[in-house]
Amino acid sequence: MELSAFLLLALLTGLLLLLARGHPKTYGRLPPGPHPLPFLGNLLQMDRSGLLKSFLRFREKYGDVFTVYLGPRPVVMLCGLKAIREALVDQAETFSGRGKIAIVEPVFQGYGVVFANGERWKTLRRFSLATMRDFGMGKRSVEERIQEEAQCLVEELWKTQGALQDPTLFFHSMTANIICSIVFGKRFGYRDPEFLRLLDLFYQSFMLISSFSSQVFELFHRFLKYFPGTHRQVYKNLQEISRFIDRIVEKHRETLDPSSPQDFIDAYLIRMDKEKADPRSEFHQRNLIYTALSLFFAGTETTSTTLRYGFLLLLKYPHIKERIHKEIDQVIGPHRLPSLDDRAKMPYTDAVIHEIQRFGDLIPIGLPHMVTRDTSFRGYIIPKGTEVFPILHSALNDPHYFEKPEVFNPDRFLDANGALKKNEAFIPFSIGKRICLGEGIARMELFLFFIIILQNFSVASPMAPEDIDLTPQENGVGKLPPVYQISFLARREC
């Protein structure tokens, strides 16, 4: 069904329910915001270009903390670093709940480390962090995996002989294989048909989740779920990925050696067996499948999308690319394999990566939080269970911290001596107890992947830099760069 038909049905239903429902229920003494209509909430005040622009417009009138009704439910919005930090850090436990994303809720249903709450979330997060650390996160072993995977990509790029490419599949394959090696204990060939199918499902799902129709679904999911739409395709895609993970888990069961776990799944299965007599244990099949799905999805899409944004920006600003090449040649040279130890000696390249993350603004409205108890915040009362959106875009684009934030400028992360300069508003991974589980590995990947690719290749576009359009393809839950073509031109003989 077309989106316009969805909206029409929602509007008609809202009018029918108008008299029956009266005004929306008052929740505590919530922060101010635009006046909602029954059922429709603030739909009629929303910007047609999406939720983010609407929220930023409301901020101009109501300040950094305000309430928006997404359909019938109230959501508290936090804008600016100060408000986000006051909630997610100063009242970390209270704001540590996870809200729902309507389009994926029918799949996860509160299971898995990303969408769990309460003791389930705490148990799964502790286990996931410790296990990922054991299998490489934060240790040199994961650095070696990234180096090896980057070299596999270099071999694939040499084969292109400088022909124009859509880089999406290359970057997806490379980043997915790092997560696969930690969670599944193996990597896949770049032409493996099952692997390619999996990557396509992830890519299409992330695009659909970030689409405008999904933002409409977020407002009226209780009604629209009964009709055809993108939500059904997302459900179908994620269920297919879940079945793939389930098959891998079964193979692990057949080969499991409890004395020598090889990866995340092995470690989880061992813990499952230890707690099988405990009916309250969170270590069961469902949490395993959806934790693996969460790690796989987040670990693939976030880093690969950042890489796609990054190389598009290098095409747009070739003088920045040339400065990176110069720093690589001075610090590493053409033949030595780059390592994480090089980062301290390459402040400009590190600054570029920071600016790519800031400018790329990958999760602009942040993943939804939820307050775990009735709480007082800035003089307002937010009842237990209320959803809270930390608008990360508002911190990453705050002119008080980033002069002319609409401009791509890596120099903003360098001090007067050319050393990397920290900025407290740089929070692309969020902050607080729900900070991105894979922040450490993502930072390693971005540095080593960028360096190893640019050590071996220059990049070129058939378009003049001034004609390259940076307008995102989608801008909802995620912000996706436009599709583009790029040539990887060898800087030396293979």
* Binding-site residue set for heme: 436
Strands (DSSP E) along 373-430, which ranges?
A: 375-377, 380-382, 387-391
Distance CA 484, CA 494 (A): 26
DSSP assignment string, 269-319: HHHHHHTTT-TT-S-SHHHHHHHHHHHHHHHHHHHHHHHHHHHHHHHH-HH
CB 271 within 8 A of CB 127: yes
Q: Across-strand partners of 41?
A: 37, 70
Rounded distance, CA 359 to CA 362, Å?
A: 8
Are 266 and 252 spatial neighbours (Cβ–Cβ below 8 Å)?
Answer: yes
- Give which of 340, 389, 342, 394 is closest to 367, Cα–Cα: 389
Instruction: State the Cα–Cα distance between residues 369 and 72, nearest whole angstrom.
Output: 18
Q: Read off the DSSP letter of residue 109.
A: T
Which positions make up the binding site?
Answer: 436
Bridge-partner residues for 479, per DSSP?
Answer: 475
Task: Specify the residue for token string 């071999």.
Answer: 155
Residue 254 tokens, joined? 């057949």
Pick the closest to residue 253 from 215, 261, 139, 404 (CA basis). 261
For 458, phi then psi, to 5°, come to: -100, 165
> Is the separation of the CB atoms in 202 and 300 below 8 Å?
yes
Nearest-angstrom CA–CA distance, 203 and 169: 9
Q: Name the phi and psi angles at 488, rounded to 5.
A: -105, 110
**In the numeric block, which tokens belong to residue 249?**
């888990």
CA 9 to chain centre: 32
**What's at 486, amino acid-wise?**
I
Question: Do 442 and 363 contact (CB within 8 A), yes or no?
Answer: no
